[in-house]
Structure 1
Amino acid sequence: MEWKLEVVVVPVSDVDRSKLFYEEQAGFTVDHDTLLRDGIRVIQLTPPGSACSIVVGKGVIDSPPGSVKGLQLVVPDIEKAHAELVARGVEVSPVQHFVAGARVDGHGEAWNNFLFFNDPDGNGWAIQEAPPAGGQAVLG
């Protein structure tokens, strides 16, 4: 049996602001923006190339806005990802790697190159460079 992660709900305080951030700055695709009964609004957005989406909305989760940390994307080129996010106006960390559990500026070995950013509510994202062939993910 296959188990596939389909959606992660991200708690936000301002649905429209979050939609704009994820669509225009993070570059996610808006799959749908649906208003359901009783003012419940569900917006599903998907990072380019991902099989898993996020959902932001009104009335979809009880967690406090900004409480999700450790969401992670992988990219083939960390420098290109950094340049794209900066060009879109995202406050993103420099390329960093882990040494003995601490984040250090600069490039590390394969699977040890990261960027970090937060959405407007403080939900935390990491972007990891995935080398072209082989290897396993290792977090310092």
Structure 2
Amino acid sequence: MDWTLEVVIVPVSDIDRAIEFYRDKVGFELDHHTVNGPMNFAQLTPRGSGCSIVIGSLPAQQQMAPGSLHGTQLVVADAEAARQELIDRGVEASEITVFDERDGGTFFGFADPDGNTWAVQQIRARADKPLIPLEARVRFGSE
């Protein structure tokens, strides 16, 4: 049986500020933003990912304090280019660290305005063999 990770809840204090950060600075796609009475939540997906983040004010989303999610990991084919893209968009990113010269051993990090932290791992093989093939991303509208 396949088990897929589809959504990670990211605890934030200000939904609009978080949408602006993840969409406009980090470059995630805003899948939807729903406001209905006391409900206010949004889903955003990193380009090329099969897993999204959800931010909002629903009870399940309020179980963690804003800024308490640490070390959630993203993977890119080129850490230097990804880091520069974030910096160019106004995101503070740590220096690149190479823990191991083999593919997968290069990392940097960043934090959102609430202090949730993200690790970004370079796996060069993703450039030639993405987890979600381009034709599937086009078919489902994420490219």
TM-score band by shorter chain is 0.7 to 0.9
Count of residue correspondences? 124
Contiguous gaps of at least 5 residues in structure 1: 100-107, 134-140
1:131 deviates by: 2.4
Unmatched 5+ stretches in structure 2: 127-143
- Normalised TM-score (structure 1): 0.84
Normalized per residue, the structure richer in helix is: 2
Deviations 1:48-102 (A, max 9, x none): 0000000011233321000000110100111110110010000001111337xxx
5 Å-filtered alignment, 1:112-131, equals 112-131=105-124
> Does structure 1 residue 31 correspond to structure 2 residue 24?
no
Distance 2:36 2:7 in 1: 18
Q: Distance in 2 between matches of 1:16 and 1:30?
A: 12
Q: How do residues 1-140 of structure 1 correspond to structure 2 at under 5 angstroms?
A: 1-37=1-37, 39-59=38-58, 60-98=61-99, 108-132=101-125
Could you tell me how far apart the structure 2 residues matched to 1:93 and 1:118 are? Answer: 9
1:11 counterpart letter in structure 2: P
RMSD, matched Cα: 1.4
Task: Kindly report structure 1 stretches of 4+ aligned residues shifted beyond 4 Å.
Answer: none
**Are the aligned partners of 2:34 and 2:40 in contact in 1 as well (CA < 8 Å)?**
yes
Q: What fraction of aligned residue pairs are identical, expressed as a percent? A: 48
Distance in 2 (alpha carbons) for counterparts of 1:19 and 1:29: 10
Q: One-letter code of the match for 1:6? A: E
What SS does the corresponding residue of 2:99 show, helix, strand or coil?
strand
Query: Contact (CA 8 Å) 1:9, 1:61: kept in 2 or not?
Result: no
Q: Deviations over 1:18-53 (max 9, x none)?
A: 01000000000000001134x111100000000000
Q: What's the CA shift for 1:112?
A: 0.8
